[in-house]
Amino acid sequence: MNDSNIPAAVSDAASVLQLPYPYLLFLGDATEAAFAKTAFGLRDWAPERCIAEWGCDTATVSTGLPRLSPKEARARGARGLVIGIANTGGVIGESWVPLLVEALESGLDIVSGLHVKLGSVPALKAAAARHGRRLIDIRTPPPNIPCGVGSKRSGKRLLTVGTDCALGKKYSALAIARAFKARGHAVDFRATGQTGILISGSGIPMDAVVADFEAGAAELLSPTADPAHWDVIEGQGSLFHPAYAAVSLGLLHGSQPDVIVVCHQPGRECVLGHPDFPLPSIAETIDLNLRLGRRTNPAIRCGGVSLNTALLEPSAASELMAQESARLGLPVADPMRPGAEFERLINSCLD
């Protein structure tokens, strides 16, 4: 994506990344695919940068890439190991540390989007220094982010929002941005999380920004632009999430979207990792996002719904999308299943 409209603070933060790919994707001890969204995102959107996967013996999640040790991956050209896990709290598991040290000893740098910094783990800091390897933390926001001001900016903006975390907001934003570009529109994908930043090479990790500056960070990320230009902004969390609603609200207010697309995974009944909290309905999610979004953009509207139907057969997915579209009175599509439904969603967003 063209990042010519990113302000200096954001561009500078992205330009110093110098990420060491190709990657070996590290899956830790993951037993739930939703927590390995960084690994899957890189596999799906930057496959040319991914050589293999690796993890603890207890991990049951796989991206389908070859399983190689760090030494084997290094021999095949890998330059960095990316921690492909986004777990609760963004912590480095104790069982991971010996494996990460092995990666450093094998000649790989380590790239992490976790909250916990790699250098805060003494064994990793010592191994990196001993072997001349880099520890790269990408979940670091740029300095001097201002408070949001709420002033209307030129240009058009679309924000993906959701009923929960880890159900397709990033994939939807990437697919929508790609579709806009294919139709000849000036468009930028704006990454707001570690996986999106790894894919696009720039962005701001919104959940690492101090709460008072969330809206200001979103304003920096999608600055004033040509009236015909679109920023398609990757959503984070959910307004209904018991832990992460704050980042969702700051992003909603600061990005001032003209259009929202609501993302949902059929069959998920409770907030991921919080079984005592049932998921809101799609209709509730549309209503709350529009009501709160009107604070900074009274003209906000819902362009449609993105369903993650990865667990459904094609015929069942098509039937469900048709039923939901009729029930909600909006286009409903799975961006990973190209076809008439997705084209209708794009038409609605651009209207």
> SS3 sequence, 158-188?
EEEEECCCCCCHHHHHHHHHHHHHHCCCCEE
Continuous segment of H or E residues that includes residue 110: strand 109-112
pLDDT in tens, the chain (351 residues): 433 333 343 434 333 357 899 999 999 999 988 889 899 999 999 999 999 999 999 999 999 999 999 999 999 999 999 999 988 788 999 999 999 999 999 999 999 999 999 999 999 999 999 999 999 999 999 999 999 999 999 999 999 999 999 899 999 999 999 999 999 999 999 999 999 999 988 899 999 999 999 999 999 999 999 999 999 999 999 999 999 999 999 999 999 999 999 999 999 999 998 999 999 999 999 999 999 999 999 999 999 999 999 999 999 999 999 999 999 999 999 999 999 999 999 999 999
Euclidean distance between CA atoms 228 and 122, whole angstroms: 50
Intervals of CATH 3.40.50.720 along the chain: 18-137
Q: CATH number of the domain at 156-350, please?
A: 3.40.50.300
What pairs with residue 26 in β-bridges? 54, 83
Q: Give me the pLDDT at residue 269, please.
A: 96
Contact (Cβ atoms closer than 8 angstroms) between residue 66 and residue 53: yes
Write out the two tokens for 341: 């439904």
- CA torsion, ordered 214, 216, 221, 222, to nearest 10 deg: 120
The pTM of the whole model exceeds 0.85: yes
Residue matched to tokens 């009107």: 294
Q: What are the φ/ψ torsions at residue 232 (nearest 5 degrees)? A: -105, 115
Contact (Cβ atoms closer than 8 angstroms) between residue 298 and residue 254: no
Write out the two tokens for 131: 């072997």
Residue matched to tokens 């809101």: 280
Contact (Cβ atoms closer than 8 angstroms) between residue 172 and residue 148: no
Q: Give me the pLDDT at residue 17, please.
A: 56
Q: Give me the pLDDT at residue 89, please.
A: 81
Contact (Cβ atoms closer than 8 angstroms) between residue 29 and residue 58: yes
Q: What's the CATH number of domain 18-137, 3.40.190.10, 3.90.550.10, 3.40.50.720, 1.20.1280.50?
A: 3.40.50.720
Q: What are the φ/ψ torsions at residue 9 (nearest 5 degrees)? A: -60, -35
Residue matched to tokens 């909600």: 328
Euclidean distance between CA atoms 92 and 83, whole angstroms: 9
Write out the two tokens for 90: 């963004």
Contact (Cβ atoms closer than 8 angstroms) between residue 220 and residue 204: yes
Q: Give me the pLDDT at residue 287, please.
A: 98
Intervals of CATH 3.40.50.300 along the chain: 156-350
Q: Give me the pLDDT at residue 6, please.
A: 36
Strand 270-271 and strand 274-278: the pairing is antiparallel
Closest Cα to residue 262, out of 333, 157, 162?
162
